[in-house]
Amino acid sequence: MNPLLQDFNTAPFSKIEEKHYKPAIKKAINIAKAEIDEIVNNTDKPTFKNTTVALDFAGEKLNRITSIFFNLNSAETNDQIQKIAQEVSPWLSDFKNDITLNEGLFKKVKTVFDNLKNLDLNAEQTMLLEKQYKGFARNGANLKGADKNTLREIDSKLSKLSLQFGENVLAETNAFELHLTNENDVSGLPESAKEAAKQLASEKGKEGWIFTLDYPSYIPFMTYVDNRELRKKIAIAAGKKAFQNNKNNNKKIVLKIVKLRHKRANLLGYKTHAHFVLEERMAENPEKVISFSNELLEKAKPAAKKEFENLEKYAKKLDGIDQLQKWDGAYYSEKLKKEIFDLDQEILKPYFKLENVIDGVFEIANRLYDLQFEEVFNIDKYHEDVKTYKVTDTQGNFIAVFYADFHPRKGKRNGAWMTSYKSQKIKNGVNERPHVSIVCNFTKPTPTKPSLLTFNEVTTLFHEFGHALHGMLANTTYNSLSGTSVSWDFVELPSQILENWCYEKEALELFAKHYETGEVIPMKYITKIKESASFHEGMQTLRQLSFGLLDMKWHSENPSEINSVKEFEIDAFANTKLYPDVAENCISTSFSHIFQGGYSSGYYSYKWAEVLDADAFEFFLEKGIFSKEVATKFKETVLSKGGTINPMDLYKQFRGKEPKPDALLKRAGLLVTK
């Protein structure tokens, strides 16, 4: 019996073997096709119920199976799973095209859509119908025969290429290790990072210390190790991921992806891939994104240049360095920050024991949204590191299942993300609650210390938990409009706004307690955290904008003449460059957000959402960070509504006005007051 084809509530991880995936996905595709055929062959007149709603609920089994498979391909992968992913991705791409290019189905959807004015639909039903119709039109339903086949070919190629891109980056990350045996080589490194590196070496049967490109290993190394040559070595290794002359090189893949995306957009009647993508976002078009980015760039660039010059002077004064390089930035920034604010990240870490931070974010969710989290041990999981929780409200009503996976391991990609194993929807009168997961890569506990987070990791946990709240508090009728199924440049609002609580005394006192003494974080540290929050914000803003503008340049112009990924990138960074270029490094070849994840033409949305979150958090600050009034309003207008209403309308319902960048610029210390 294939466990994936049985009816299940929570994912049956322990019963699933690799051999189950392909037959389950194949069978689920056939079930979904039969559901589609039933809609198409229905001889009754097309209605909202027998067409629009039926289509939204079609493919439920397939969605559940593929969510398990692709989530594991990110969090717990191996060669076999990656091979299966390469095989099944074209099947899924073909199936998607079977739906969007099905003339009989589109005809029915169009019939209902054309009759919209005569249907007595509420806002959510109207949005479902409009999105469904657009989904067909934007994916080729209006194309003629040969063009439809071309679209199928492009989509199949793109799905394989993005998978290959991600596999190459993961292989390159796993291939590098820096093995050190001389104590002098790890001078400057905090004890906790040393201990983790020693543990990694002993796990591999070696003496000394091993460092990798996984963030919990790489970031402390770049921030604290005194040996400049070794920082250079690991920085260059990180920067040349998938840009080396080996089988994992992504240069050709990047060019193939951008050219196919452009061709696809042209085929569908759009000028570029960015024009296609942004039509369905708050930003609407690439011109608006570029103008928004340049407006912020104008404000941030003078500050960034000044910060960089000061950092360069500081490095020269300290160590006689004439030219600051990329492998110097984090190291001297940390030293300067410590000098200015007398704040050492290592002094803060004992106050951020992972378990305490988890309890803290749960308590904050309880105070804001009346949620309660109970760790349970009867839910299947895919790795022993994963924690599982039952989420209820204060009345005891079941809200969600929550999974949390916090530590790095071999089969897990870098970074942090939120995902879902089951979406919320209302079916047959039953409100089916979601199963939501967050995946992070935080320092593991060692024999002598628990997992102690850097402040940056604390904000990462809050960020991903903000996404999780968006998924958990979803309360819509239709699966495709539920939870995080919103405009991509709106999806970061719930995550980024929650990061603000990490800087507030009232919130920090709930969980920032010394792991040995239980002492609450001293007020002087809280003050310093707040004061230092905008340290080097000009440089940080410039960096973030540079990635967004690189993404836009790849996707808002005709890429047919591009031959060199590296030269193109140098040109794209011309206006945001601070550090000298490193010839053997390239960002695009490992820029997974835009070439593997869903952020193509969307990287700007981090900054866009920062404008929203700074503006929204000002409302909380006005009324109190635990204001039930504001929290309830945020829950009812943003967190529970998913994609049922236009995002700007939702935002205005919450805030009473459109957002302005002033709150962000003020928070970042970039607002020039006359």
Tell me: the pLDDT tens digits for 76-89?
Answer: 999 999 999 999 99
d(CA 427, CA 432): 7
Helix axes 18-41, 60-75, angle to 10 degrees: 150
Same domain membership, residue 569 and residue 491: no
Same domain membership, residue 185 and residue 276: no
User: What is residue 673's predicted lDDT score, i.e. its pLDDT?
Assistant: 46
Mean pLDDT estimate for the chain: 95
Distances (CA, A) of 281 to 23, 494, 648: 36, 16, 10
- Please report, for the domain that includes residue 123, its CATH number: 1.20.1050.40
User: What is residue 223's predicted lDDT score, i.e. its pLDDT?
Assistant: 96
d(CA 200, CA 177): 10
At 434-493, the pLDDT tens digits run: 999 999 999 889 888 999 999 999 999 999 999 999 999 999 999 999 999 998 889 999
User: Does the pLDDT of residue 75 top 50, yes or no?
Assistant: yes
Domain termination residue (choose one: 117, 142, 167): 142
Instruction: Please choose, from the candidates 533, 549, 510, the residue with its C-alpha nearest in 3D space to the C-alpha of residue 670.
Output: 533
Stated length of the chain? 674
Overall domain count for the chain: 4
- Please report, for the domain that includes residue 508, its CATH number: 1.10.1370.40
Same domain membership, residue 373 and residue 278: no
User: What is residue 443's predicted lDDT score, i.e. its pLDDT?
Assistant: 86
pLDDT-derived band at 672, boundaries 50, 70, 90? low
Among the listed residues 334, 464, 499, 557, the single catalytic one is: 464
Largest Cα–Cα distance in the chain?
82
pLDDT-derived band at 214, boundaries 50, 70, 90? very high
338 lies in some domain: no
Return the SS3 of 25: helix
End-to-end CA distance of the chain: 72
Q: What's the per-residue H, E or C state across 141-163?
A: CCCCHHHHHHHHHHHHHHHHHHH
Same domain membership, residue 569 and residue 424: no
The answer to whether residues 662 and 671 touch, using CB atoms and an 8 Å cutoff, is yes
Q: Enter the DSSP assignment of 520.
A: B
**Which pTM was predicted?**
0.84
d(CA 352, CA 459): 11
At 156-192, the pLDDT tens digits run: 999 999 999 999 999 999 999 999 999 999 999 999 8
168 lies in some domain: no
Instruction: Give the DSSP letter string of 444-460.
Output: PP-SS---B--HHHHHH
579 lies in some domain: yes
At 587-612, the pLDDT tens digits run: 999 999 999 988 999 999 989 989 99
Of residues 105 and 142, the one with the higher pLDDT is 105
What percent of the chain has pLDDT above 90? 88
At 32-61, the pLDDT tens digits run: 999 999 999 999 999 999 999 999 999 999
Same domain membership, residue 628 and residue 514: no
Tell me the average pLDDT across 179-206. Answer: 95
263 lies in some domain: no
Planar angle of CA 67, 420, 35, nearest 5 degrees: 50
Same domain membership, residue 642 and residue 611: yes
Q: Is 309 a catalytic residue?
A: no
Tell me the average pLDDT across 241-264. Answer: 98
Same domain membership, residue 420 and residue 504: yes
At 400-436, the pLDDT tens digits run: 999 999 999 989 988 899 999 999 999 999 999 999 9
User: What is residue 126's predicted lDDT score, i.e. its pLDDT?
Assistant: 96
Residue-wise over 238-267: b if at least 16 C-beta within 10 A, else e? Answer: bbbbbbbeeebbbbebbbbbbbbbbbbbeb
Same domain membership, residue 628 and residue 483: no
Same domain membership, residue 54 and residue 25: yes
What torsion do the CA atoms of 58, 60, 66, 68 make, to the nearest 10 degrees?
A: 170
Backbone angles phi, psi at 336, to 5 degrees: -65, -40
635 lies in some domain: yes
pLDDT-derived band at 145, boundaries 50, 70, 90? confident
337 lies in some domain: no
Return the SS3 of 580: coil
* The two three-digit tokens of residue 53, written as one number: 């709603």
Same domain membership, residue 184 and residue 133: no
The alpha carbon dihedral of 643, 645, 649, 650 has a sign of negative
- Please report, for the domain that includes residue 308, its CATH number: 1.10.1370.10
d(CA 625, CA 631): 9
pLDDT-derived band at 674, boundaries 50, 70, 90? very low
pLDDT-derived band at 149, boundaries 50, 70, 90? very high
Same domain membership, residue 463 and residue 317: no
Same domain membership, residue 550 and residue 481: no
Domain termination residue (choose one: 222, 239, 256): 239
Return the SS3 of 405: strand
Of residues 597 and 372, the one with the higher pLDDT is 372
The answer to whether residues 535 and 342 touch, using CB atoms and an 8 Å cutoff, is no
* The two three-digit tokens of residue 568, written as one number: 């193109």
* The two three-digit tokens of residue 163, written as one number: 């998978």
User: What is residue 207's predicted lDDT score, i.e. its pLDDT?
Assistant: 97
User: Does the pLDDT of residue 505 top 60, yes or no?
Assistant: yes
Residue 410's domain comprises 350-533
Which residues are CB-contacts of 409 (< 8 A; sequence separation ≥ 6)? Answer: 76, 383, 385
